[in-house]
Each structure stands twice: as structure tokens, then as C-alpha cells.
Amino acid sequence: MVAPVALGVGSLVWVEDSDEAWIDGEVLSVNGEDIKVLSTLGKTIVAKSANVYPKDSEAPPCGVDDMTKLAYLHEPGVLANLKSRYDINEIYTYTGNILIAVNPFQRLPHLYNSHMMAQYKGAAFGELSPHPFAVADAAYRLMRNEGISQSILVSGESGAGKTESTKLLMQYLAYMGGRSKSEGRTVEQQVLESNPVLEAFGNAKTLRNNNSSRFGKFVEIQFDQMGKISGAAIRTYLLERSRVCQVSDPERNYHCFYMLCAAPEEDMKKYKVGDPRKFHYLNQSKCYELSGVDESKEYIATKKAMDTVGISSEEQDAIFRVVAAILHLGNIEFTKGKEIDSSMPKDEKSWFHLKTAAELFMCDAKSLEDSLCKRIIVTRDETITKELDPEAAVDSRDALAKVVYSRLFDWLVDKINNSIGQDPNSKCLIGVLDIYGFESFKTNSFEQFCINLTNEKLQQHFNQHVFKMEQEEYTKEEINWSYIEFIDNKDVLDLIEKKPGGIIALLDEACMFPRSTHETFSQKLYQTFKNHKRFSKPKLARSDFTVSHYAGDVTYQTELFLDKNKDYVIAEHKDLLCASTCSFVSRLFPVSNEESSKQSKFSSIGARFKQQLQALLETLSSTEPHYIRCVKPNNLLKPAIFENQNVLQQLRCGGVMEAIRISCAGYPTKRPFLEFVHRFGILSPEVLKGSTDEVAVCKKLLEKVGLEGYQIGKTKVFLRAGQMAELDARRTEVLGRSASIIQRKIRSYMAKKNFTLLRRSAIFIQSVCRGELTRCIYERTRREASCLKIQKYLRMYLARKAYKELRLSAVSIQTGMRGMTARNELRFRQQTQAAILIQSYCRGYLARSKYIELKKAALTTQCAWRGRVARLELRKMKMAARETGALQAAKNKLEKQVEELTWRLQLEKRMRADLEETKTRENTKLQTALEELQLQFKESKVTMLKEIEAAKVAAAEQQIPVVQEIPVIDHEMMDKVTAENEKLKAVVSSLETKIDETEKKYEETNKLSEERLKQAVEAESVIIKLKTNINRLEEKISDMESENKILRQQSLLTASKLLSENASPLPTKILENGYHASEVTTVNDILLQTPTKVYETPDSKPRRPPTDRHHEDVDTFLECVIKDVGFSQGKPVAAFTIYKCLLHWKSFECERTSVFDRLIQMIGSAIENQDSNNDHMAYWLSNTSTLLFLLEKSLKPAGTAGATPVRKAQPPTSLFGRMTMGFRSPSSTSLAAAAAAIEKVRQVEAKYPALLFKQQLNAYVEKIYGIIRDNLKKDLGAILALCIQAPRTSKGSVLRSGRSFGKDSQTNHWMAIIDCLNSLLSTLTENFVPPFLVQKIFTQTFSYVNVQLFNSLLLRRECCTFSNGEYVKSGLAELELWCCQAKEEYSGSAWDELKHIRQAVGFLVIHQKYRISYDEIINDLCPILSVQQLYRICTLYWDDNYNTRSVSTEVISNMRVLMTEDSNTAVSNSFLLDDNSSIPFSMDELSSSLRVKDFFDVKPATDLLQNPAFEFLHD
């Protein structure tokens, strides 16, 4: 694979091992061709130099994402790189543009969510980490940009994850070109939904996979001109038909059989199925169930999937009847018949299954028996019926089962394709090929032969593509490649499929001869290919043969080759099923016009498959191919197990090693100039001095070393196989010599250090001894002095103790005496204070009583005087407003009429209710009396009958002989009874009369109530009309009042001016009620002069109607505020002017007004097509937010407690209120009073238009805010891509300057970000945007910066370096400085939003990461980062400057365990951050950030102040 290299002692190498495939070690000795190696496992191995490969000592511990970057491109290097990446859950790796996917056998949901798809959308291939999304995106982009169809070939052995990879590709293509959900079920959805159906009927359990696809699948996804999916088609290849009849243990048959056996009970009875152990086609293997799979649920899911893809319930029933019939066919056993070489069903059980199969097929049972046990041979003269022996009958039975199942599967594929639909106008497609990988088992039959033929053809296509890519790279780099040899596998393909003389041709020939057997076929092969280098015969084998494939030798057993290659349909079987009464079954075998006779027509599986394969390759050749090689890391199907031998074999079978061999034939090692100089510059440091040209430096280095055969491209150095190892060997020598020098210096330094330490120790011991002697002398002297001091202090203590006892006794006596005196004094003071308090309360009561009397008298006097003044004023105002009074009188009259009608209506309703109650009570009384009379009548009748019977009994007992003498009838009793009967009849007749009268009254009352009801309805309609008229009158009255008010105000103003100019100032006298006497007299005089009816302006010009004048005012107002009227006292003038005008016009209290709609249209037109003009948008953000704040403080919904009532003209109190308000002269209002009035914003009761305007204004604030924020994000987006990675410089400049980049080059991109932030901040502050909104803009922007930088750091390995961390950290320092300079008023918490990238960068620039524990990382260094994010950073980290290591393996293991636990519980494990683009504030927060008093000195628009119609703005 690589040229032999000279390895020295101490070199790191790879050596072959029987268990681990390859193990690494260190060379101990070299003896000619024999090299002795000590492996890392502790074994000593002696190997030939040809079998030893160099190991890259500087390879990253977590591997590289593209194996073309490996220093040594050979088998052990590739295997070690895949293993190191698999250990850190990096399951995808590139080899050029080939993606290798290692099955993790666990869920990794964070790799496949929509956010990850958004990251790969439009990214250059290789820019982000390897992923199927990158391959799909590259294919989609090529198709869109160049208009060329693409194909993605997914291959691998069973269980490697081909199907899952295909689903991911389909998912991404649906994401890029899918239709919206509103368009119904899309094509991509139908393709994905067809998978469960195809898996149920085409997948089965094998030795290596529980859900192995036993057919090849090519999905063509068609796109329209807009890049949207417009159609699709599914092509299938080589369904394994023999599995229907033959299953080896512990594999299973197709899933659908087991699903049917676990169907609901009614379905099982319907299809007469049950335990799968009872069916011959299923019980050949002891495996009936799969762990974790519920077949009954899968059955229901499959039926739902059939519904989804458009298979009707009748067709589903027919499908499962066919499946059940196949199971029953397998249970038919045969025995010898009555005639020679004949057969018949064996027993009653076989007859039952025969009849059941015929019933399910809906055909005749006798016809089914004949088709299995007999053959009809048609000759020219006659038709001959031939009996079949039991063995031939079994073969016939199995042939029927296989052909029916095959036709059923083909029907399903056709049905799905018809349901999906194809686009005939599509010009581009992307094909996804999910094909079986190379197979080599202990027993290899016809299926393995076809599968390996497919892989040989695809490998040829793959080799041509790899060779083409290699040539394109050489051409791009402008190097000579004409002498590179390309080895093809055409000889193997000719061996298999050449016509005539190929294996398939010989097999077809053998199948056409009736007496041919597998042994004759094998002998034919031996004779034909005995000299072929790719064909051989195994020893001790009679019928086997071996083919040398590209992936290794495979031995095939020919026992079943002939049977499996036959594809003809037996005529009797076809006639039987075509005659079925089930239309579905008969459609499976359409009648062909070419078949004119009953004789069976031969067809070859191999030939048909070869045609399909040729069509597939033609399709692939017309497309641009992309490759995904799936690898199964272990046969246990468990995570975290990497079997080297197994993976290596799959890499060989997948053609990866073949691609490496092709690459090694040319220039396997390709290094950019900068990396080459950085790695091998130490071989000749003098070459680097004074040179800045990297190309020249590389040429001088290679000439200095003396290599030959290399090539210098435009951007890379291309080395032949083995040259990299030679350079590394020389580099190792230089490093070894340097290490010896370093060791020598270190040893001399350590000896000098030890001597100095010994000398210091001796001096220290001497000083300690001398000090000890001195301390002993000092201690003795100190003890003597201590004794004297103790004696002195003891004497002093005794004297002080005696004195304190004496003093304590004296103080106790004094304390008792003083306390007694103080208590006596306190008692006297309390008594005195109580007496004073009683006196004060008594005097206060007397004073209050007198004050209350005086106050009542004063109020009485004031009320009388005010009433007199008010009556005079009322009389004058009534005279001045006669028209208003007339309208008011009319309104009052109408209201009285409405009240009178309402009262009449209520009275009618009440009378009607009373009448109905009276009627009900009378009816109840009459009914009760009638029931009582009937009861009395019945009782009297019973009594009379009892008396008659008693009389008869008494007469019988006395036995009176003469009847005439004793009368039987009691005449008195009869008279009484007769009289009572007469009375009862009279009562009944009277009751009947009353009932008739009552019914008549009831009918009359009903008529009367109906008439009154009609009158009430008419009255209600009249009331509604009256209310409408009243509303109209109220509107007219309010207009008249507003006009009168304006006239009165103007007359008051003119009068006050005249008085102030002509009249001398009069002394004012303040009355007791708070009014000025001068005010009262002045206003009264002015009101006396006010004209009663005025329709002219102060300029004596005729006035227009109020409505027209109001519309003109609104037009003038809108023309003014739509212009940039600037700011006053730091507040927007336009917003304040709008608020004042709306408040004056009472627009907030109107039920209908067009002012708000025109304002909204004005704002919308002002910001239309101005998205990129931040200055304009900031001006309107300032105005809209300020106006919204003023509305929030002023408006409240109708009906709110405390709301200002709507002013009406009717109640006299409101008139009195207006009159008393007129008593105050405008000239007496001071500036302080005006400020106090402004400070409290007037609360008005808002109607619906005002509330709607407030909502629309709030929406515009949010819209303008979002536009400004998104503009800033758009400006920063392009710069951030340059800020995540430090700029590179050449090695020459590195050596000359001593640093990799200067300060200016570090921060130029970051300074561009600072400039953008400063520009926007200046714009916002110049337009006086509220600081609260400025804070939110920069906070969300910094959050966006954090998301972009952090996600780029996690997705790009070249960014996770030490030097890059320093670069980003310096840029973040610039942002922190900006936040400090901008002050917290504007920056707010923006700096805190960068917490993720700050902690990640802080972790990158730590030198000794391997000493940090996991607890320190999550608690101290990076508490905000998740385990997935930390794991990603730790595994991607590499140091390009100081070769520092990442965290320890123990920390990585802890993270991996926690990730595994989280993946089982968490919904999403994505390690990427999401950008939040929502509006981050509410109206309440915005309102709380502003103050009303800030608007004291704001001046309205100057243009409006000059307009007489807007004089109210002066107030």
C-alpha cells in the first residue's frame, strides 16, 4: 500500500495482529528485513519491514474529520482514525468526498434535528463536521446550480445503517425542496410513508440484522425548476424469493407472515391463521419473535401505512388473503398416488390446507390440486397430461408460493409509485440508492452471487469516480499525473456476465436443459475457466467454485443455483390464478399476447437482474455520484464496541481501501504549504530566515532534504507514498538531537540546583543551633523577671479586692434611698398630668360645639347667596341658548314619551300575568269542587247498595211468608236518595255552566292578550325609533354645546383682555368659601355682554359647518406630523402633538371616527420601503413608543371603575358644574397650577376605536423595533463569520516577527463590529429612542452574536484551538470595553448574553486542561454549558501552537456516561443554541420606563401653533 521506508529504533509503527488487525508499538531493533517491535499491549513482535507501517505521532487524539488529511494514508491509519472518532461518538468521517458512517447502535437525536439541518443549509462541503446532511446539501446545490442530476449511493452490509442513512437523506431533501404543509400530503411524505409497507414485505431477520432489507431500492426524487420536489419513483432489485420457502436457523421469513399470525382475533379467524410454529414456511427456524417488537402493533401500523399510501381496504384484505394462502400452501404435504409416479395430498391436514388455500385464492380446490400434482404437455397432435411424483409436487408447490409472493411485492411497488406520481416535466432528479453490501458467508448461494455482482459493478463505477476526483484535484493543482496507473476490475465482470461464455450465460444454458444438474453446471465452469486468474476450484469440493472479488475470495455452493435462477411461470399455475374469482389475484398474472400456448416459457433471474443492473448503472452514469459507506462496528449490535477485524473487512468490501489504493498510486499525502512548513521547518531553519514566500520555502526544504518525485501544486505539496515517513524520520532525528541538548542542559541545571540547596541547608542548621543557645539564656532571665512581676500583681489584686467590697456596700445603700425618692416624685407627676388631660378634653368639647354652630350658620348663608347667584346666571344662560333649550325640551319630551310607553308596556304585561294567575286559581278551585262532589256521589251510592243488601239478608233470615205485608223498598230512604241525586245533578249542571263560562272568558282573555302583545311589539318598535331619534338629538346637542362653549370662551377671552387694558386693578377680597369676589363680578359682567346666538369667528368671517371644519383640521394636522418635526426637551414633538389633538377633539370617547385609521395609514406609509434606513426607522420608533406610552397612561376601557363619566347636557348638575367652572378666570391660572395639571395625565373612558388604535400602534412599535434589530443582525452576520477564526500568516513572518499575528490584524474584524454598534447607538440616541428599547436591541444583538460564535465553535474543528481562543477572547474584550463606554443606560445586560462563548473561550485558553477535574469544569469554569456542549468542545480541541493536551480520558468518560443517560430521558439533546427573535418587552415594561413629568416643557409642532384652529395647543 505504501512504499517501504527506513525505520529506526524508537520509531512509532503499526504491526499486523491476528486478534486486533493492527496494533501500534515502538521499534526496538532493526535487523535487515526483520523489525522487532514492542506493542502498547506489552507484546514483543518480530515482523517483516513490508508489513510494518509508520504511525503519525502528532495525529490528534480524537482523529481527523477527513482522512485525506492523515499524514499516512494506509489501512492502520484509517482504522485508528475511525476508532478514535467512534470512541467520542463522532460516527461520520470523510475520505475526500466519500462519507463513512459507523452505526452507533444508540440514539443521537442532537445530530438530526431541524436546527442541525439549518446549519448545513448552504454550507460548503467540508466546512462543517461530516454528516449525511452535508452530502445531501452538496447534491442539491450541484443540481440547482449546474442543472445536473445527482445520485447518492448508500452501501454497507446488513445492519450497518443503510436504511437509516437513506431516511436522513430523504429528510434533508424534503427540508430543502419540500412543499408547505398546507398543500396536503407531499411527495416526500408519501415516499417516507411507503417505507413501513416495503419493510413489512421485503425485510427479514438475518444473522447480522433484525431488520435486513432483502431487496435493493433506488428512490428517484424529481425536482421542478424552482427546486421543489415534484415527483418520485421507487425501483426495487432482486427480491430474495427463495426465503419464502427456505429459512435457515436462526433467521426468519419476511415480517408480514409473523404480523398476520399476530393479527386481531377476527382477522386470524378470517384468514385461518394462528401460531407461526404450525406453518412449514415459518417453523424451519426456531426464531419466531424479535426482542422489543410487538407483531400485533406492527400489523396495525402496516395497515395504517397502507391506508396512507392509497391502498384501499378491499385491496388490503386481498393482500393478506394471498399471504395467508402462501402459508397454507406450505403445509400441503404429498404422498404417492394410485398410479406410478403420481402424487396426492398426504392426509386430512393437507387436504384442509389445500381447500383453505383454494378458498383464500378464490379458486377451485380440484384445480389447485391438479396444478400442483400434474403437468399438461402440448404437442402438435395432442395434449398429454403428466403426473408428478411427490418431490416434483413439492417443488411445484414452492414454485407457486415464490412466484405469487414475488408478483405481490411487485404489485405493491407499482401501487406505491402510482400513488406518489411522477413528474414528466422534471429535468433534474436526485437518486438515493439503498443497496445491499458485499456478502461472504460460510454458505453462499445464488443470492450472494447476484449481490456480489452488483457490488462489483458499483465498485467499478466507484473506482472510476475516485480516479476522476483524483485527476480533477491534480489538474486543479496543475501537477503532472499522466504516469499514474489505474487498475480496473473489468476481468471479474467479464468472468461473470460476458456473453457468451460468462457464468450467468452458462447458468442460463444449464437451466434450459431438463437433465442438467448443479454438478454438470459446475463441471462446465471448471472446464471453461480453469485458466482464469479470478476463478478457482476449492480443494475437496465437487460442485463449489471460488471467485476472487475486489473485496476478497468468495466460495459459492451451486446446489440451488439452477432452481433459483429459473423465473418461468408454470402454465397450470397461471391458468389457475387467472381464473380466480378475486380480481386482485387474477390481476397479479395478466394474460400476455405473446403466450399463445400452454407450454411454460423459460425466463432467467440472472439475465433479468443483469438487465436491471445495467439500467441502474446507466442511470447512475448520467448523474453526478456521491457515496456514503455504512459500517457496522460489531456483530453484537451494541454501542461502544469497535471490532477492528470486522470494520476492516467492511472497509475492504465497501471499496474504501480500494479508493485508498488508487490514491496511493498517485500522491497520497497532500499538505497545504503552511502546514508543511509548520511541521517540517525544523529540518532546515535557515531556509525560513528572510523568506515570506511559502512556495519557495517548501521547494528549498524539499531540495535540502533531497527528496525526489514530489510535486508542488498551487496550494499544496504532493508527496509520493513513503516520502512522508522519510521526512518524519528525519524530523524525529532532529527532535532527538534537540532532546539530547535539552537533557544535558537540564541535568547541569539540576546538579547546580542540588549543590546550592545543600549549601543553604548547612548554613541554616548552623543558624538554628546558635539561635537555640541564645534562646536558653534569654528564657532563664525572663523567668526571674516574671516571678517579681507576679508578686507585685498579687499584692495589688488583694488590695483592690478589699476596696471594691467596701465601695459596693456604700453604692447599694445610696441606690435604695434614691429609688424611693424617685418613685414618690413619679406618682405625684402622674396625678397632675391626669387632671390636666381631663380639663383639656372638657374645654375642647365646649370649643367644638361652638364652632359647629358657627359653621352651620356660615354654610346656610353661603348656600343662600350661591343659590341666588346661580339662579341669576342660569336665567341669563337660558336666554343665550334658546335653541339648545328647545332641543333639550324636545329631548325631554321624547324621553317622557318613551318612559310612558315603557310604563304602559310593563303595566300590560303585569295585568296579563295577574289575569292568567286568577284564571289558573279559579280553574283549580272548580276542579277541586267537582272532584269532591263526584267522591260524595260515589260514597252515597255505595252506602245505598250496602243498605239494600243488608235488607235482603234480614228478610231472608226472618223467612216472611207473605211478601206483600212487609215492603222491601224503604220509601223514605228512596226519597232522600232521590233528593240528593237531584241536588247533585243541579250542582253538576251549575259546574258545567261555570266551566263553559270560564272557557269563554279564557278565550276572550287570550284574544285580549294577543292584541296587547301586538301593541307591546309595536310599542317596542316605536321605542327603538325614539331611542334612535334621541341619539341623533344628543349628537346635535353635543355639537351645539361645543360650538356655544367655543363662542363663550372667545367672548370671555376678549372681555378679559379689554378689562385688563382699560379697567384699573381692583382690590380682591377672598370670601370664606375660597372664591375671589372680583372673579364673580367680572364673570357676571362678561356673561351679561355675551350674545345669545353667535356664528361668526373673532375675525367676523362666516364659519363653515363643524364637520367640514373638523376634516380640514385633521388634514392639516396629518400633513404636519408626517414630516420630521424634530424633538423638544428630548421628547418627540410629533407624538406629543398627536396626543394633544386627539385629547382635545375627544376622539378617544367617540364610538365612530376615522382619525385613528388615517393615523395608522400615515405611520404605515412613512415606514414603507424604509427598512434599510435606520435613521428614519429610529425617528418613528421614538414617536410611536412615546405616543403609545401617553395612550397607556390616559386610556382605560369603558366601564372601568373610577372612569370619567360621559358629559351629558340633560342633568342640571352638569350645567351647574359648567357654570361654576366659568366662575374661574383664565387669567388667574398660574404656571405652577398648569404644571400640576399636566403632571397627572387626564384619564378618559376609551371607546372601541381608541382601544383598537392602541393595539395597532403597539404592533407598529414591535414591527419597527424588529426591523432595526434585524438590520443590525444582518450587518453583523457577515462579519461574525470572520471573527470566529484567527487570520493565518506564513511561517516566515512567524519566525521574523516572533508572533503569529499583530494586534491590528487581530481586532480589525472586531472593530468593524464595534463600528456597527457605535453607528446604531448614535442613531438611536440622536432620535431620542427610549433607553429601555435601546437596551433590548443591544441585548438581543449580543445574544445573536453569542449564538453565532458559539455554534460556529462547535461545528468547525479548526476553530477549537488555543490560538483561536486567544483571538476570540481579545475580540470579546473589545465588546466588553464597548459595553462599559456605552454605559448601562444603553447596554444594559448585553455583556451577560455572551456567557456561552465567554466560558467556552475561557476553557480553550487554559494551558493544563488535563489536570482539571469534571467537577471543576461544570462548577467553576463552565457552569452554564451543558454536558453535550462540553463534550463537543473537549473532543474537538487541538493546540496548533503549544501542543497542549485536552482534558483527561476520565473526564471524557464521565461526560459520555452522562450523555448516554440524558439521551434516554431528554426530548432533545442538541448542543447548538437557538436565536430568539421574539419581542422581548411588554407594554407595561415600556410604560414603567418613562415618566409623565418628563413632558412638562415639551412644545407642540410650530406649524400648528400658527394655525387659529389649533389655539388649544398654547395651553
Q: What is the 3-state secondary structure (H, E, C) of 284-318?
A: CCCCCCCCCCCHHHHHHHHHHHHHHCCCCHHHHHH
Distance of CA 372 to the CA centre of its chain: 59
Can you say whether the dihedral through the CA atoms of 769, 770, 773, 776 is positive or negative?
negative
Give the span between the Cα atoms of 1300 and 1293, in whole angstroms: 8
Give the span between the Cα atoms of 1310 and 538, in whole angstroms: 71
Can you say whether the dihedral through the CA atoms of 1321, 1325, 1327, 1329 is positive or negative?
positive
Q: Which amino acid is at 1359?
A: C
Coil, strand, or helix at residue 1145?
coil
Contact (CB, 8 A) for 430 and 230: no
Distance of CA 636 to the CA centre of its chain: 34
Adjacent-strand bridge partners of 44: 38
Active site residue: 11, 81, 155, 158, which one?
Answer: 158
Active site (annotated) includes residue 993: no
Active site residue: 89, 95, 155, 163, which one?
Answer: 163
The CB density around residue 1419, as the number of other CB atoms within 10 Å, is 10
Residue whose C-alpha cell is 480443494? 539
Active site residue: 25, 63, 159, 681, which one?
Answer: 159
Coil, strand, or helix at residue 1253?
helix
Contact (CB, 8 A) for 387 and 343: yes
Active site (annotated) includes residue 583: no
Active site residue: 95, 165, 195, 213, which one?
Answer: 213
- Taking only Cα atoms into account, the Rg of the chain, rounded to an integer number of angstroms, comes to 54
Q: Which three cell numbers stand for residue 1045?
A: 362653549
Active site residue: 216, 330, 431, 437, which one?
Answer: 437
Instruction: Return left, alpha or beta for 924; rule: phi > 0 is left, psi -120 to 50 is alpha, else beta.
Output: alpha
Active site residue: 439, 497, 694, 873, which one?
Answer: 439
Q: At what angle do helices 656-665 and 446-477 cross, to 10 degrees?
A: 30
Active site residue: 81, 149, 210, 212, which one?
Answer: 212
Q: Which three cell numbers stand for residue 289?
A: 419473535
CA distances from 1131 to 1483, 1496, 1500 (A): 18, 10, 10
CA distances from 868 to 555, 626, 865, 1088, 1405 (A): 129, 104, 5, 16, 92
Contact (CB, 8 A) for 402 and 416: no
Closest Cα to residue 415, out of 207, 573, 201? Answer: 201
Contact (CB, 8 A) for 1133 and 1500: yes
Instruction: Please give the full DSSP string across 1397-1408, using - where no structure is assigned.
Output: HHHHHHHHT-S-
Active site (annotated) includes residue 209: yes
Active site (annotated) includes residue 558: no
CA distances from 276 to 256, 295, 323, 397 (A): 12, 12, 13, 19
Active site (annotated) includes residue 193: no
The CB density around residue 1195, as the number of other CB atoms within 10 Å, is 19
Closest Cα to residue 431, out of 238, 145, 239, 624? Answer: 624
Peptide bond into 514 cis (omega under 30): no
Active site (annotated) includes residue 437: yes
Give the span between the Cα atoms of 672 and 717, in whole angstroms: 6
Give the span between the Cα atoms of 890 and 885, in whole angstroms: 9
Closest Cα to residue 901, out of 1058, 720, 1010, 1025? Answer: 1025
Active site (annotated) includes residue 159: yes
CA distances from 800 to 301, 778, 1248 (A): 104, 33, 93
Contact (CB, 8 A) for 362 and 585: yes
Give the span between the Cα atoms of 370 and 553, in whole angstroms: 46
Active site (annotated) includes residue 1476: no
Buried b (16+ CB within 10 A) or exposed e, 629-639: bbbbbbeeeeb
Cβ-proximal residues to 1029 (8 Å cutoff; 6+ apart), any chain = 894
Contact (CB, 8 A) for 919 and 1001: yes
Residue whose C-alpha cell is 403632571? 1239
Active site residue: 165, 209, 342, 669, which one?
Answer: 209
Query: Which residues are tagged catalytic?
Result: 158-159, 163, 209, 212-213, 437, 439
